[in-house]
Amino acid sequence: METRGTALVTGGASGIGRATAERLAAEGYEVVIGDVDPRAEVVAAEIGGTARVLDVTDLGAWERVAANLQQDGRQLSALVLNAGIAGGGTDLGSLDLDRYAQLMRVNVDGVVYGLRTMLPHLARPGVVTVTASLAGLMGVPADPVYAMTKHAVIGLVRSTAAGLATEGVRIHAVCPGFVQTPLLGAAQQQFEAAEFPLLTADQIAAALADLVTGRSRALVTVLQPGRDPVDYAFAGIPGPRLLDGSKAPDLPDDLRLEPSDPPA
């Protein structure tokens, strides 16, 4: 099979990341798994890929991975920013600030550092996918800080999509509901007891692969059990009015809150 280029998958040692690495390898990509989990070596060996030690919260680690790719003569075709954690608790009054900082570093800094470091090395055309969550589109009383981090990621994707598109880079986010992965922890038993359906890691990986290959071009994809992937449509917001109630003039494109023509 002719290679389709190199894909870097963060958090690829288990769960959604592992399933995505396996699927992209089957699609013809040379997969580099970036993870702090030593199981990444095993996964990479199984799919004919490469593992690199990558703490997504460490800008220096990102720079070392970028340097390794250059030394190997590889140019990225796809950047899959998948690494993430949950578990911030419910009560902000007793919030563990160390855990708060860790959630922010992994879920937000891990995306920003990845973009900052890897965009200069990404082929044109190229593609970036970010694993977000339904928690980025709605309130989550059980884990408000986690929800905040995923809202931040969605805001970043929406705000950078138009600019990146002019450079030949597509950026997308996937927002799964509850997925049967280690991230669920003990809560999985509660879902099973309630007979609540869960998504599988393979289903999320399939949606990510569709975005990477261009079979899907949705900016934000919602995934729920028993449903096909949904190209999520954000509600519009009321526009400004002048004092006399008439419509305010349009702003220049670089000052708009959202582009008038979203990227395809």
Q: What is the distance between the alpha carbons of residues 105 and 96, in angstroms, rounded to a whole number?
A: 14
Question: Do 129 and 212 meet the contact criterion of CB atoms below 8 Å apart?
Answer: yes
Instruction: Select which of 29, 100, 146, 232 is catalytic.
Output: 146
Q: Which residue has the tokens 């449509």?
A: 233
CA 136 to chain centroid, in Å, comes to: 11
Count of Cβ atoms closer than 10 Å to residue 20 Cβ: 31
Q: What is the distance between the alpha carbons of residues 8 and 21, in angstroms, rounded to a whole number?
A: 8
Among candidates 164, 151, 167, 169, which has minimal Cα distance to 220?
A: 151
Q: What is the distance between the alpha carbons of residues 91 and 56, in angstroms, rounded to a whole number?
A: 27
Q: Based on the residue annotation, tell me whether 146 is a catalytic residue of this protein.
A: yes
Residue by residue, DSSP assigns 105-150 as IIIIIHHHHHHHHHGGGEEEEEEEEEE--GGGTS--TT-HHHHHHH
Please identify every residue annotated as catalytic.
146
